[in-house]
Structure 1
Amino acid sequence: MSKKLRRHSAEQIIKKLRNADAMVAAGKSVGEVLQALEVSEATLSRWRSQYGGMKSEEAKRLKSLEEENNRLKKIVADQALDISMLKEIAKGN
């Protein structure tokens, strides 16, 4: 039986974290919480470290900043490659 990998949005993760906290506060065991959320203990732990205490709007902003950072890193890498190629061409002249 293979499970389909799912990607959760930041908003979905924060909602699940809130639900997990509510279930634990209501006396449910960690195992029951993990089953209800359909995630592993490692996933829940990773989510808590990454998104713990965040609001939905903050998570959206974080995601936006991460995307912008990746875009800028790609631009810098492309420029470094261009500079490297120009230096090689200049050596030949």
Structure 2
Amino acid sequence: MLNASKDLASVLQVLEVSESTYQRWRKQYGGMKSVEAKRLKQLEDENKRLKKLVADLSLDNKMLKYISEGNW
């Protein structure tokens, strides 16, 4: 829409996005193409999943050590 010579305020109004959100997205995703932004989102989701998995496994490991020491 911006390429169709519409001003930023009207484009944001049509998209129902605040200017602060637009500025945050622009800062975060800067010169990325949509494919790169999608890939970044996928990697962030995978990283979150893996961190949760590591936390769960660490908790299981601590629990097993505690039980094997006979402290229960």
1:51 counterpart residue number: 29
Match of 2:20 among 27, 38, 42: 42
Q: Identify unmatched segments of 5+ residues in structure 1.
A: 1-18
Cα shift at 1:35: 1.5
Q: Identify unmatched segments of 5+ residues in structure 2.
A: none
Answering whether residue 68 of structure 2 is matched by residue 90 of structure 1, we say: yes
Normalising by the residue count of structure 1, what TM-score does the alignment of the two structures yield?
Answer: 0.62
Greater Rg over alpha carbons, structure: 2
Question: Distance in 1 between the 2:62 and 2:28 partners?
Answer: 37
Question: Distance in 2 between the 1:36 and 1:51 partners?
Answer: 21
Answering whether residue 49 of structure 2 is matched by residue 71 of structure 1, we say: yes
Q: 1:18-61: CA deviations, max 9, x gaps?
A: x45x37xx372x43343233111221111111222111110121
Question: Distance in 1 between the 2:12 and 2:46 partners?
Answer: 33
Normalising by the residue count of structure 2, what TM-score does the alignment of the two structures yield?
Answer: 0.76
Question: Distance in 2 between the 1:27 and 1:39 partners?
Answer: 15
Aligned-pair identity in percent equals 62
Please list every run of at least 4 consecutive aligned residues from structure 1 whose deviation after the TM superposition is greater than 2 angstroms. Answer: 30-34
